[in-house]
Amino acid sequence: MKRKVLVPLLLSLLLSGCSANVPEEATTSSSSQKQMPSETVESSQSSLSDTKTVTRASASGSTSESVSETESPKTPETASAYPYQVDMSQQSNVLTFSFEGFNVPDTVTIDQSKEEVTFESSTPDDSVTSRYRATIATVPTKTIRVFSVGTNQIREVKVNTQISIGKILGGTQDRKDYHGTMYLFYNHDGVLSLATPNYAGNVPADQMDVMQEVLP
C-alpha cells in the first residue's frame, strides 16, 4: 500500500520540477536574443580639418552622423629672407644725405615718388646738380665694406636695400659721373645710413671696393 502511494508522489514532484525550469530557460533565451546598440567610428583627416563619421546601430536600424572638427593649419613661422631690409614705405618720399670731405658731392637726394636721385655740389664759383633715374630694389643679403662716418675706419655691414643709378635726366652738367650702386641700411645707432661709391678715390687697390657711408 505504501508503495502505491509513493509512486504517484514521486511522479508529482518530478513534473513540478520540470515546469519550474521552463520559465528560467525561456528567460535566458529571450535575454540572449537582445542586441545592445553598437557604435562604429570611422574617421578621415586632411591638413585643414578632421571629420568623424559616427554610425550607430540599433534594433530599429542604423543611423550615420558626421561631426566636423576644424583647426587652423600649423605652419612654422618663416624667418624674414631680408633681415637688413629698409622698409621704404616707412620712410619719407624725399631723403637727403650729406657728404663730408673733399672731392665729393655736398648732398645726394633720393626721391621715391619721382624715382630719381639728385647730386648737388657747390664751389666758390658755381653750383652743380645732376639728376639720375634711380631704381630701389630688395636684394638677397650681401656684405659690403664702408668707410665709417667721422672716423673713416673700414667696417663690414650687411644690406638688402639697393639703389641702382640709371641714365642722367638733367641738371647742370657735372664733371663727375655718378652712375653706380648705393645701399640703404640701419647703422649700429639705429640711424639710416647710405653707402655710396667712394667718389673721392685716392685709395689703395685693396680698398677699391670700400664704399662711403653718409648720414641724413
What's the alpha-carbon Rg for the chain, to the nearest Å?
46
- How many CB atoms neighbour CB 160 within 10 A? 20
Say if residues 164 and 138 touch (Cβ distance below 8 Å): no
Q: Return d(Cα 172, Cα 170) in angstroms, integer.
A: 7
pLDDT of 173:
61
pLDDT in tens, 103-113: 899 999 999 99
Q: Return d(Cα 122, Cα 106) in angstroms, integer.
A: 7
pTM beyond cutoff 0.85: no
Residue 127 grid cell: 653750383
Backbone angles phi, psi at 20, to 5 degrees: -75, -30
Backbone angles phi, psi at 21, to 5 degrees: -80, -20
pLDDT of 163:
98
Say if residues 121 and 109 touch (Cβ distance below 8 Å): no
* E strand residue ranges, the chain: 38-45, 49-58, 61-70, 94-98, 107-111, 116-122, 127-147, 154-170, 180-186, 192-196, 211-214
Q: For the chain, what are the domain ranges?
A: 88-214
Residue 26 grid cell: 525561456
Backbone angles phi, psi at 204, to 5 degrees: -65, 165
Task: Kindly state the average pLDDT of the residues 88-94.
Answer: 94
pLDDT in tens, 23-53: 444 444 444 444 444 444 444 444 333 444 4
pLDDT at 7 over 60: no
Residue 46 grid cell: 586632411
Say if residues 108 and 159 touch (Cβ distance below 8 Å): no
